[in-house]
A and B are shown apart, each in its own frame.
Chain A
Amino acid sequence: MFKILDVAGSGLAAQQLRLNTVASNLANADTVSGDPAAVYRARHVKFQAVEGGVRVTGVVESQAEPLKRHEPGNPLADENGFVYAPRVDAVGEMVNMISASRSYQNNLEVMNTSKELLLRTLMMGQ
C-alpha cells in the first residue's frame, strides 16, 4: 500500500515537469533573436511507464524552423533586417497546461485517499 504514494508521487513530479516546460515555452514565445541557430526552441517532455509509476525520460526540443520576420528597426535584427522567433504553438501549450494540471490533481487525489486509508489501517484493532 505504501507503494501507492511512490506511484502517485512519480506522477506528480512528471506532471510538474511538464507544467515547467509549458511555462518556459509560453514565456519565451516572443523571445526573438538575430541568429536562427540561437533562437529558443519549444520543449516537450517524454513520459515512459516504469515499474512503480511514470518517469520522464527526457526533454526534447522542437525541430520546427523558426519564424522569420522582417523588422529592420529591431536592435536584435541581423544585417538584412530579419529577426527569428521561436515557433511556439500557444493554443497547444494552453491545452497541454490544462491536461497537465488535471493529471496533477488526479494524482494528488490518489495520494490523499491513500494516506487516509493508510492512517485508518494503522488504527486497526484499537
Chain B
Amino acid sequence: MRFGRTFIALVRMAAGNLVRFPLRTVVVLACLLAAAAPLLTALALQQGLKDQALATLDAGPDLLITGDDFGRPGAVPLEWTDIVRQAPGVVLVIPRAVGRVMIDDLPAILVGLGPAAGIEGAQRRHHPGMPELGAGELAVGSALARHYGIKKGDEMRLALPVEGPERFRYRSFVVTGLLDGPDSPVWSATLVRGSFADLQDIFLRHGMASELMVWCRSGYEQRISTELSRLLGPAARIQDRPMMETYYHAGFDRRGGAFLVLFLAALSLSIPVLALSSGLGLSARRREVAVLKSFGWETREVLLLQMIESVTIAMAGASLAVVLALAWLVFGSAWPLNAFLLPGAEELPLGRLPYRLAWAPVLMSYVYAVTVTACGAVVAAWRAAAADPGRILLGGEG
C-alpha cells in the first residue's frame, strides 16, 4: 500500500518534472519525433504500397507472356493470342500494349487493352476493368487529371516519342473517362488508357502487343506455363504469379532498403543528440536530487524517478511520433518521403497514398524511444544520485 502510494507520488513528481523543465522536455520530444516519425511514415507507406501491389497482383493474370529481345522483355506477336488460348486450362487471354508518352513535360504511361479471347463470361469475371475505348479516346489517371485540370470531354494532346531531330510528334485525343475510382491503385493516378489500336498506331507496332495477360483454371498454372514454353519456344518469356510477386517484393525492398539505410545513418546521429539533451538542466537536477537525498531518498529511488521520467517522455514521444506519422500520411501524403518509395511522386501530387502502420515498427519506435532516453538519462541520473548532497547543499563550508 505504502509502496503503491510512493510509486504514485514518484509518477506525479516525474510528470511534474517534465513540466518544470520544459526546455529539456521539448528538446527530447523533438529529437524523438525527428527520429521516429519519418521512419514510421516511410515504413507505413512502404507497407501500404506493397499491400496494394500484391492485391493488384492477386486480381491480375496468372501468367504474363512477353517476347525475349536479346535477353530483355520484348513485344509479342498478336498471333500468340490464339496459340495461348488453345492451351488446355487457359480461360482468358488479353493482349496489352504499354508505352511511355509525355504530357507537356511530365512522363506518363499509356496503356491499351486488346481484344480478349477466352471462354464465355471470363472477361467479366476476371478483368471487368473499364469499358473499351474507341479510337481517339483516352481515360486519364486522377493525378494527371488534377494536375492539368482535365475533365471528361476535354481535348488532350500527347507527345509521342519518335526518332529523328523532332524527338516528339503530337496527337490530340478526347478524354472520355477518368481513372479515379476509390479502388484505383496509386500507380493508376499517372496512367493514361487508350485504345489498343491507337497504341499500335502511336508506337508503330501493328500486329504486336507488349505482353499477353493469361488467366488459367485454378491449379493448372504450372502445367500451362510448361505447355506454353513448349509451344512458343525460347522467343517467349513466361512469368507466373510467384515470380511476379518476387519481382514486386524485390522492387519494394530495394527502394525501402535504400531509404532505411539513409535513415538509420541519420538516426544514429540523433542518438548522441538525444543522450545529451536528456541530461539538459543537470546542474538544477543535481541540486534537487541532493535535496531529495537530504529527505532520506536513496540512490535507487532517485534512479527510479529518473527512469519513470525517461519512460514517460519516451512513451509520449513515441505516441506523438505515431500520431505525426499518421497525420503525415493522411494529410501530407508522406511528402517528401514518398519520392523515395514511389518514383514520380515528387513531380506529380498523387493524392492520398495507401499506407498500413504495422504493429512491429510501432513497437520498435517505442523500444527505441525508451532505450535512447533511458540511456541518455541514466548517466545524468547516476551522476546526480551519486553526488554528495552535503557538498551540494551546504557547500562544505561554514
The answer on A and B forming one complex is no
- Using CB atoms and an 8 Å cutoff, list the residues of chain A in contact with chain B: none
